[in-house]
Structure 1
Amino acid sequence: MRPGEATPAQGDPTNVPGRADEEGHGRPHGDQPALADLLLLERDREQAVLSAVIGELRSGRPALVTVTGEPGAGQGELLRWAARHAAERGLCVLTARATPAERDLRYGVVGQLLSGHQRFADQLPHLLLDQGGPGRFPGLTRLLTVARERPTLLVVEDIHQLDPDSLRWLEALIRRLPRAPLAVLTGSIRTADIGLDWCAGNPLTGSATTVELALPGLTRTGTADAVRAFCGALGDRSFVAAVADATGGNPAVVRDTLRRFSRAGHPPDAGHVGHVRALAAEVTGEHAAAALDGVRDPVALDVLRALAVCDDLLDFPLVLTLGERGALSETRLRAALLDSGLVTVRDGRFRVRGPVVRARVIEGMSIAERADLHARAAELAHRAAADDQGIGDLLLPARPVGAPWVVDTLCRAAAAALRGGRRDRAAAYLSRALAEPLSEETRIRVLLRLARVELVIAPVAAGRRMGGIIREPGEAAADFRARAGDLCLLGGDTDTARRALAEFLAGRRPDEARGTPPGPEAAEEATARHEELTALFRVTQPLRRTPGEVAFPPAPELPRTSRNPAVNGVRAWETAVRGVDCEEARRQARTALAPDPSGRLPLTVPRLLACRTLLLTEDGEEAETHLCALLAEAHRAHCSVSVARVLALRAELHLRHGRPDLAARDLAAADRELPPDSRHPLSYPYWTALGILTDLADGRPDRARAAAGRPVPPPAEESVSGARLLFARGLLAQADDDPHQARSLFRTCGRWLLQYGWTNPALLPWRSGAAEAAHALGDTAQALRLAREELELAERWGTPGSIGAAQLCLATMSGEDRVQRLRWAVDSLGRAPSRTAYTRAVVALASAESGEPDRATAVAAPAADGAGNGGAGPYGVVARRPGVSAPPPTGALADAPPSAWRSLSPGERAAAALAAQGLVNREIAAALSVTTRTVELRLSGVYRKLRIRGRDELRALVQGTQED
């Protein structure tokens, strides 16, 4: 403020007509309040205090008022309002404003104050130059004389920029305040936490009023008022919240942000939240740049940059060691930083105001200067034992340091970031570690850690990294090749793993050692590594159409006997998929899951294959125990891909055991660990198929149809997991009563599996599905051939569940020996883990036996439709057409009290038949493809309509009918 700005005659520049239009508010001047009113939002309390001080000053009571706040809080607007208010009430008002440009000018602010009064105008040069003796303060005595004649208000803005002589002059004036009706009103950007030390020790007594006003930021209500004033409409709640958060409630930033927003003519709604946030960041940066231009001391600027780099990681005395302090004391530096308005004090610590301001402060440095400052700050933070992630953030833009502690710190920071779910930050730390000078072994170790993180955020890039580790020449990578191949397969990138493993194994002998003839231990170690790589290579499967120019060598044979868990796990899986020796597959799987006698950490993929083998051998409880142990291990390693794969396999286990709700829960947890958008394209068929099977078993066909309709990347359809997706789509077509589509999908699935020699019906019973579809289409010969072939293969494998499911399927195709086959199916499935298939077999047997007049023990049950008798398979998926209820029961229960029975709905009759047979609600729900709650409601209706009180009376009613 220049001299005389606050006098009524000169007025306020914000009240000049047409000024609002020039400011770009976008509306006529008469449609909005004056800009000064907007700058004084929520300042009613402060205005009331200042009005009271001015009123007391008119009565002769002196006062000292200091107004503090962060830059842009409105100190200047409030002081100018007080000056106008005092002038309107007849007081003498003298104003001045300290500026950085006049900081080196002696008595610069004093000259502004005194020039505002005619008594000093003529003699001002003489007063400022006549400073002969000590203790002389130009014009001070005459000012006190003027104040005794007429109460006077002195208004000084930005006192933190005062020149030293003006500061001493004001201190002298304040010491003399009780002698005259004079008030001093000052404004500063220093916060209330620091206080004002320039008036310390003044002898004011009760004869003078002392007030310190700390201006807060705008509240949500005040921000909403500003939005309405600038935009001419009420702002949406989310819009107002965005403005308040992005600006921090700073009135100046709010004003400039809304001014720019209103120019575009956008409505203040939720759709423009991102736009107003961007404008707020832009305005904040411009304010910071303007304040930065005012920092003229190079020492203060150097320390400010160091403070911006370190943020709140280091204490202020440590930050000072990063800059060139020169002759400035710590106290002077603190004052200079606070005077800039770019620094605040929170909890007693100096901090740069927000990330936007920090970025603007650092932008003024060259790239080399920034890299050097970050490196020095990181080294200082390391010596101060600061937080690992904080040091890691300093190291990200720093030049290579070359110290051993750097890589260790970055790896610990990455682990901490993973624990907090910040995978992007963890990848950044590990990528930065690779910029340091590293040994070959350390470099490969860091590369493997980085690839494990990137499996979730950039799976294709992670596959390339792991392929490079597998191909890495030299013995430095010997301990990491198998780990890289294991992770690559877990991520689903079987193509990259196959290519890399093939290239490495083609040029590597199993007995190679580190440049010298191997001893027994070294040879054994080299053999174990070679066996692991060979086992992983046998797991990979080529795409259906591999380019002719890419020739892969045949997979090497695995040793028949080995103590290597990887070998045993893969051999168990190969035995299982061929379906030739159940006991041998079980033995090999258990050996693979036993602790490694050599003490090496086993690979994950072979152990998952061993657990999958135990599912096929119907040792589900044992497999679940091992899966829980694998899940805990994956969580400890913070490997999201491993966690997701283990959860997916456990979901398959739950499906095979008739627990679709638990399968859905595990699959949802796997989606959280490894989101669908983060999966490798080659793994899409596996996850899609598992989702379809889970949704079908859980009674959500609409979701299954939506998943089946999503496009799959072309290379993924040609992978081995594409057969699983074909099978799932076949079950969905079967449930939708589309036998033509179902048969085509099942047969295509079978051709794809047979290409790799996967003949075990316990894996994917595609033959029974195709047989049921052919039977529905009237092709009985093909249906019988497929059903008998599946039974033959199931008997060769030898597990009760697969044999029982094949018997059940064949019984629905052939009328001869139907009842006997159903009895065999019930006997086999009774020893299998899946209760769903057993329940369906019991229902089918009861339906068949009820038609035999010579069996008095026949129990009636609803006859399942043709597609449902054998279509559950190993996944408990009931292939029924949605909305089609089971046919009404036949036999004894159908003849129970006719009038009452006819009142039952078809669903209630089916539930009553199964309940009379002794099935529990969960088994009834599985048999009828409904929820347990639906079964409860249906049975309640049965009891009410038949006027009975429970299952005992229902069974008695059935038995009585049978005896009749």
Structure 2
Amino acid sequence: MLVEREAELAASSRAVDSVLAGSGALVHIEGTPGSGRSALLERLRGLADDSGALVLSASGAASERTFRFGLARRLLRGLSEAARVEAATRPSTIDTAGDSATGDAPDVPVASSTADTPRDALPPAGEDADSQAGTVPISVLHSLHALLVRTSAVRPVVLVVDDLHFADDASLRCLVHLVARLRGMRVLIAAVLGAGREPERDRAALMHEFTAAAGHRLRPGPLSAAATGELVRARLDVDAEFAACCHELTGGNPRDLVRLLDQAVAHAVHTEPDPVAWLHELAGDDRRRRLAKELTAPAALVARSVVALGEHADPALVQQLSELDPVRYDDALRALEPWFEVRVDRIAAISPEVADDVLAVVDEQADAEDDLHLRAAELLHGHGRPPEAVADQLLLVNSALPDRGVLRLREAAAAVRPRVPETAARYLRRALLDLDPAGADRARLLAELGSVELAFDVGSAVRHITQAVPRLPGVRERAEVVAQLPLTAAGALPQVAELVQRVQGELGPPSDADGQLALRLEARTRYAALEDAATHPAAAARLGELGAGAGSAAERELRVVLLSAVTLSGRARAAEVAGMARELLEQEPANASTAVHSMLAYLPPLLLAAGAPEGLESWLGLAGENARQRGATGTEAVVAAERSLLLMSSGQLAPARSVALTAFELADPARNEAMVLPVCALGTVARRLRDPELADRVLQLPGAAHDLRLFATRRLLQSAMALQNGQPQSALAHVLDCGRRLEQSGWHGTAMYSWRPTAALLHHRLGARHAAAGLAEQELERARQWGAPAQLGLALRVLATVTGGSRGVRLLRESVQVLRTGTDELVLAQALTALGSALADRAPAESEALIAEGRLLAARCNAAPAEDGPEPHSAPNTAELTRAEEVVAGLAALGHTNQDIADELRISRRAVEKRLSAVYRKLGVDGRAGLAAAVRRRIPAERPVRGA
């Protein structure tokens, strides 16, 4: 019963009719096993029989692939007999090659005697054994064609070939020759060619030539759910759910459906209480039973090879791994055909469920799996497959790997390390299992593993490197391994610092051969001592010894550590640090800083602390783009954190908040060294904005007690939040605790972790004016020594706040003057507002102008120009004015004429007048006389600063 094959049957009927009418044709039937392709071929044969045509048939056999002319002999034997009968009864039927039923004259020679038959033309079995498989004498091809012309002139001929993909090469060559010459003959050739069954390259051209000539192509696909239901209900009285289950289990494959229905009828499944459940169990049992029965030893070996090779299971590699000769290999493929799809480029199970069943049966028959995977690894390596494919085979080997297996794993680790270091580490860990625990080779491999783990698990990397170094035989070899450690690792664990110092001592003074190694070791030793106040004078002296210039990469790394030491300890001026840091920035390629432990983590903060951010934005942009292209998420997080700090250095708090959040979300909480900068950046933004939401995200993370940067960030943020909650005493305690720890470590500088301004303002608020003045004076002294505008301007304003009076005004004027040379517009806005407030009674006009300017600058930063002390302030409410009106109003409030404003904004004077008119109307003022006060009133003075 052929269902849903109307189109294919109609095409078959047309093909037979066309041949009866005198036009040769080729019908190509293809499809997956069980799709009904052989049934269609049989129906076409029946149509040809009914029409009176001479129907000859044969089927390819995998076991006869090496038997030359095997299929041709079986197929054309009947043609030979028919030709003999016709010659005996009608000897004059065909006189020349041109006497065909259609009157067309094929341009080929035709045999002139009845002795010229295929049996005479084809060499007997075993002849030409040394000939190439696909080579056919031209005389044989001409004789076959002549015989077909002569016979079809008397009676239509239909040649039916099943499983053409198993035909021997000589027979395939004969059929290709005949297919190309069907024009003018009453000959129909119909052949089934399995989908994707073309593994051999030397047959590809022949197969393509054959199929390209097809005038009719039949591709029976899976049955629809409706057609499946029709077939099910034809045999069983069941409901729609049962029929749908049959369709699901068979995928609409007709052969599988018939087989399932046979089993269902035999077991009367439809009468069970839960027939669908029984059907599932029956289908699984039937598959496994057929597998166990039909999977011969060669088939099981091929199946094991396919499973082992996975996505690399192309037919040629599978045959080599199975170690079967071509005949047994083809037999095995034929046995596996119901469960495996054989394509030109790959063999694979037809579904995950079938793959599970195959594996279950194969596992029962399998032995020597380790040997199979070892041979698969060598096979893939020999054929140039990716190193990771080779390594994946070796990971499945449970026994000890040979030396070449360890070598393959190391090769694969080197290949995948830039893209997926986690995978590289997995390969190396497997290789470690088979090396002598006390040998130098294991130590080297352990060090190699540690260097790979630096990219994603610094803790494990440090552990493996510290285990490996003492076992390495040479001093230089030990130094090279230790020099790979990140700077943070040297400072985090005392045992690592001791290891670095010991290896540095073993290496001795720098020489031409090991100078760069010595510099890298020195950088790590000095980084480990950053929190040791006693080492800071030596660091400053060493920086002086190095002199000007950036030098090699190793020297640049040492310089940035020394610059960090003098900046944190306040033993240099900002201009000196900025100059040396800029030299380093110019020499350090942004795209080379791709790891969180590189100079990327230390150089930008130095430039920001020194008030020299020029060129940093583009450098960070290149570093971030390179990190994105490489998929280095940890580096992206570091870059984003530093971009946030850069935005804060100019007072842009809203975008700084957004970028800091991005950095925080990109960073991996499991990697402490990758979290430091993102946490510090987000904590600094949260502190300046007094943002409880951001503060909670930072403070809920477990603190890293060994990292002073994180400690200081957390304490300062805790202070800000305590003050926000109305707890000034608690806020002061947090700040003073931070200060004590920083002072103990010798971090006296004002640039990076400034705590004295906040402590001074808190003391002032609580009435401890003497303590406030002392801290403020100390901060001003250190800020003058440092010389960066932002720190100096803030120190001047804080001292003015706690001092007051005429001195306070002088200090505020100096603060404004200093800050005008810096980049932080928000700090300048705060100083302008503070000075304007101090001058309210003494110089009202100047006071209003200063406050208006401060509020205009603050509006650009989306914040209020309040003091950076205990009392936070809110962003201005400017919803009533457009941005253009707000800018014009601010300039007018500062006393600029309409023409000045037009020139400044590069717009017409008329446009300025129109915007001012709108401002006067919205603010309810008559003109410029009340504009400054109105602009000042628009910004409330006592609301918390919030982020974007």
Q: Do they superpose with TM above 0.5?
A: yes
Q: 2:523 is matched with which residue?
A: 532
Alpha carbons of structure 1 residues 631 and 338: separation in structure 2 relative to 1, 3 Å: same
**Paired residue type of 2:541:** R
Of residues 751, 757, 760, the one that matches 2:746 is 757
Of residues 64, 70, 90, the one that matches 2:32 is 70
* Secondary structure at the counterpart of residue 726 of structure 1: helix
2:805 matched to 1:816? yes
For residues 408 and 592 of structure 1, the distance between their equivalents in structure 2, rounded to whole angstroms, comes to: 35
Of residues 869, 892, 909, the one that matches 1:916 is 892
Q: 2:453 is matched with which residue?
A: 454
* Secondary structure at the counterpart of residue 621 of structure 1: coil
For residues 66 and 198 of structure 1, the distance between their equivalents in structure 2, rounded to whole angstroms, comes to: 11
For residues 887 and 519 of structure 2, the distance between their equivalents in structure 1, rounded to whole angstroms, comes to: 58
- Tell me the CA shift for residue 656 of structure 1: 1.6
Q: Does the CA contact (< 8 Å) of 2:531 and 2:746 recur in 1?
A: no
For residues 527 and 444 of structure 2, the distance between their equivalents in structure 1, rounded to whole angstroms, comes to: 20
Q: Does the CA contact (< 8 Å) of 2:880 and 2:922 recur in 1?
A: no
2:494 matched to 1:502? no
Q: Which structure has the greater CA radius of gyration?
A: 2
For residues 569 and 295 of structure 1, the distance between their equivalents in structure 2, rounded to whole angstroms, comes to: 68
Moved more, 47-56 or 460-469: 47-56
Deviation sequence 1:505-545 (CA, Å, 0-9, x none): 3x5572646xxxx9964686675455234223224789xxx
For residues 761 and 611 of structure 1, the distance between their equivalents in structure 2, rounded to whole angstroms, comes to: 17
Of residues 757, 781, 788, the one that matches 1:768 is 757
Q: 1:374 is matched with which residue?
A: 376
- Tell me the CA shift for residue 691 of structure 1: 2.5
Q: 1:351 is matched with which residue?
A: 346
**Paired residue type of 2:797:** L
Of residues 559, 565, 568, the one that matches 1:577 is 568
2:918 matched to 1:944? yes
2:549 matched to 1:560? no
* Secondary structure at the counterpart of residue 809 of structure 1: helix
Alpha carbons of structure 1 residues 73 and 807: separation in structure 2 relative to 1, 3 Å: farther
**Paired residue type of 1:752:** R
Within a 5 Å distance, the mapping from 1:432-471 to structure 2 comes to: 450-451=449-450, 453-455=452-454, 457-468=456-467
Structure 2 residue runs without a partner (length 5+): 75-118, 122-155, 233-238, 242-246, 261-280, 547-554, 897-911, 936-948
Of residues 41, 46, 71, the one that matches 2:8 is 46
For residues 755 and 283 of structure 1, the distance between their equivalents in structure 2, rounded to whole angstroms, comes to: 76
- Tell me the CA shift for residue 826 of structure 1: 0.4
Within a 5 Å distance, the mapping from 1:585-664 to structure 2 comes to: 585=577, 589=581, 608-621=601-614, 641=634, 644-660=637-653, 663=656
- Tell me the CA shift for residue 463 of structure 1: 3.7
Q: Does the CA contact (< 8 Å) of 1:322 and 1:376 recur in 2?
A: no
Moved more, 780-789 or 911-920: 911-920
Q: Does the CA contact (< 8 Å) of 1:579 and 1:797 recur in 2?
A: yes
Q: Does the CA contact (< 8 Å) of 1:309 and 1:394 recur in 2?
A: no
Within a 5 Å distance, the mapping from 1:102-251 to structure 2 comes to: 189-191=194-196, 213=217, 215=219, 251=252
- Tell me the CA shift for residue 943 of structure 1: 5.0
Deviation sequence 1:615-664 (CA, Å, 0-9, x none): 32222226667767877998999866556435533432332233457656
* Secondary structure at the counterpart of residue 353 of structure 1: strand
For residues 661 and 290 of structure 2, the distance between their equivalents in structure 1, rounded to whole angstroms, comes to: 46
Q: 1:120 is matched with which residue?
A: none
2:795 matched to 1:806? yes
For residues 482 and 914 of structure 2, the distance between their equivalents in structure 1, rounded to whole angstroms, comes to: 59
**Paired residue type of 1:576:** T
Equivalent pairs, count? 770
Deviation sequence 1:388-418 (CA, Å, 0-9, x none): 5556656665744539984784355225xx3
For residues 504 and 292 of structure 1, the distance between their equivalents in structure 2, rounded to whole angstroms, comes to: 65
Q: Does the CA contact (< 8 Å) of 1:804 and 1:829 recur in 2?
A: yes
**Paired residue type of 1:367:** E
- Tell me the CA shift for residue 723 of structure 1: 1.9
**Paired residue type of 1:822:** L
- Tell me the CA shift for residue 820 of structure 1: 2.3
* Secondary structure at the counterpart of residue 806 of structure 1: helix
- Tell me the CA shift for residue 805 of structure 1: 0.7
Q: 2:784 is matched with which residue?
A: 795
For residues 755 and 540 of structure 2, the distance between their equivalents in structure 1, rounded to whole angstroms, comes to: 32
Moved more, 529-538 or 824-833: 529-538
Q: Does the CA contact (< 8 Å) of 2:569 and 2:746 recur in 1?
A: yes
Q: Does the CA contact (< 8 Å) of 2:62 and 2:330 recur in 1?
A: no
2:845 matched to 1:851? no
Alpha carbons of structure 1 residues 620 and 445: separation in structure 2 relative to 1, 3 Å: farther
Q: Does the CA contact (< 8 Å) of 2:800 and 2:811 recur in 1?
A: yes
Alpha carbons of structure 1 residues 763 and 696: separation in structure 2 relative to 1, 3 Å: closer
CA RMSD of aligned residues (A): 7.1
Q: Does the CA contact (< 8 Å) of 1:448 and 1:484 recur in 2?
A: no
Structure 1 residue runs without a partner (length 5+): 1-11, 13-35, 112-132, 136-150, 203-208, 234-242, 260-278, 543-552, 889-902, 921-937
Of residues 836, 846, 855, the one that matches 2:826 is 836
Alpha carbons of structure 1 residues 84 and 683: separation in structure 2 relative to 1, 3 Å: same
For residues 255 and 778 of structure 2, the distance between their equivalents in structure 1, rounded to whole angstroms, comes to: 77
User: Which TM-score applies when normalising by structure 2?
Assistant: 0.60
Alpha carbons of structure 1 residues 827 and 285: separation in structure 2 relative to 1, 3 Å: farther
Alpha carbons of structure 1 residues 541 and 215: separation in structure 2 relative to 1, 3 Å: farther
For residues 754 and 871 of structure 1, the distance between their equivalents in structure 2, rounded to whole angstroms, comes to: 26
Deviation sequence 1:354-411 (CA, Å, 0-9, x none): 79889968964633222321332144135xxx55555665666574453998478435
Alpha carbons of structure 1 residues 88 and 294: separation in structure 2 relative to 1, 3 Å: farther
For residues 737 and 954 of structure 1, the distance between their equivalents in structure 2, rounded to whole angstroms, comes to: 42
Q: 1:724 is matched with which residue?
A: 713
For residues 290 and 658 of structure 2, the distance between their equivalents in structure 1, rounded to whole angstroms, comes to: 50
Aligned-pair identity in percent equals 20
For residues 283 and 917 of structure 1, the distance between their equivalents in structure 2, rounded to whole angstroms, comes to: 89
* Secondary structure at the counterpart of residue 196 of structure 2: coil
Q: 2:126 is matched with which residue?
A: none
**Paired residue type of 1:67:** I
For residues 869 and 322 of structure 1, the distance between their equivalents in structure 2, rounded to whole angstroms, comes to: 76
Q: 1:680 is matched with which residue?
A: 671
Q: 2:940 is matched with which residue?
A: none
User: Which TM-score applies when normalising by structure 1?
Assistant: 0.59
Alpha carbons of structure 1 residues 158 and 434: separation in structure 2 relative to 1, 3 Å: same
For residues 448 and 647 of structure 2, the distance between their equivalents in structure 1, rounded to whole angstroms, comes to: 32
Alpha carbons of structure 1 residues 677 and 306: separation in structure 2 relative to 1, 3 Å: closer
Q: Does the CA contact (< 8 Å) of 1:737 and 1:880 recur in 2?
A: no
Deviation sequence 1:31-78 (CA, Å, 0-9, x none): xxxxx97xx6xx664365457679999999999865322346564787
Alpha carbons of structure 1 residues 402 and 573: separation in structure 2 relative to 1, 3 Å: same
* Secondary structure at the counterpart of residue 535 of structure 1: helix
* Secondary structure at the counterpart of residue 838 of structure 1: helix
**Paired residue type of 1:617:** A
Alpha carbons of structure 1 residues 288 and 215: separation in structure 2 relative to 1, 3 Å: farther
**Paired residue type of 1:946:** Y
* Secondary structure at the counterpart of residue 819 of structure 1: helix
Deviation sequence 1:752-781 (CA, Å, 0-9, x none): 323423232321233333444555566666
Alpha carbons of structure 1 residues 453 and 526: separation in structure 2 relative to 1, 3 Å: closer
- Tell me the CA shift for residue 802 of structure 1: 0.8
For residues 452 and 913 of structure 2, the distance between their equivalents in structure 1, rounded to whole angstroms, comes to: 52
**Paired residue type of 2:746:** G
Alpha carbons of structure 1 residues 226 and 469: separation in structure 2 relative to 1, 3 Å: farther
* Secondary structure at the counterpart of residue 802 of structure 1: helix
- Tell me the CA shift for residue 87 of structure 1: 14
